[in-house]
Amino acid sequence: MESYNELMLLFVGLGNPTHQYEQTRHNIGFMVLDAFAKKHEFPEFKLNKKSDSLLSESIVGQQKVLLAKPRTSMNNSGDAVSILTTNYKLQTTNLLVVHDDIDLPLGKLRISMGSGSAGHKGVESIISALGTQDFVRVRLGIQPKTGKPEQVEEFVLQRFSQVESNVVEQTIQNACAALDSILRNGIEKAMSEYN
């Protein structure tokens, strides 16, 4: 995954569609893609019915990048990702998934390659649909200061608190910078810079 050039990269942000889930912890993947699209002046996201995803495509530096926000529920994200990788004839090594991570403290960011889902249902769905975990993940911490909550599934569907929102804004900017670093320097260097 060091030199991409002609190959398109697929950046998938994970979240739950519909208005009620906007700005919730589980949707930080969507928030990062929106910020990245704005930063690099991508065209407006448009619905692709076949993959049931909102897509936007542009070139960053010399690299073709396709941004995707699946409109499936989080737990069925793999359906959309599988269709997109097939339609665009992409290797899974050209796939990068941005998602929340309850095991990391709020504000922390980790880039990983080829690791398991650690219980994240969206990631689990992608691994299952693709039959491999050989793709890059940008994991964004959402764990509160008090530690991992008991009711994780309830917690991730809540909105960030007022106090958290400044940290979240900074995390989103850091994630965009990490994506830029991956595009510019490759995955290994980005990992050593951000992990």
Closest CA to 84 of 127, 135, 46, 50: 50
Task: Identify the three-state secondary structure at position 121.
Answer: helix
Q: Nearest 5°: phi and psi at 136? A: -90, 140
Q: Nearest 5°: phi and psi at 150? A: -70, -45
Task: Look at phi and psi of residue 59 and say left if phi exceeds 0, alpha if psi is from -120 to 50, else beta.
Answer: beta
Provide the Cα torsion 73, 83, 178, 187; round to 10°. Answer: 140
The C-alpha angle with vertex 31 and arms to 137 and 146, in degrees rounded to 5, equals: 75
Catalytic residue among 26, 40, 99, 120: 26
Task: Provide CB contacts within 8 A for 84, sequence distance 6+.
Answer: 10, 12, 51, 53, 66, 68, 90
User: Residue with structure tokens 């994780």?
Assistant: 152
> Is position 26 annotated as part of the catalytic site?
yes
Annotated active-site positions, please? Answer: 26
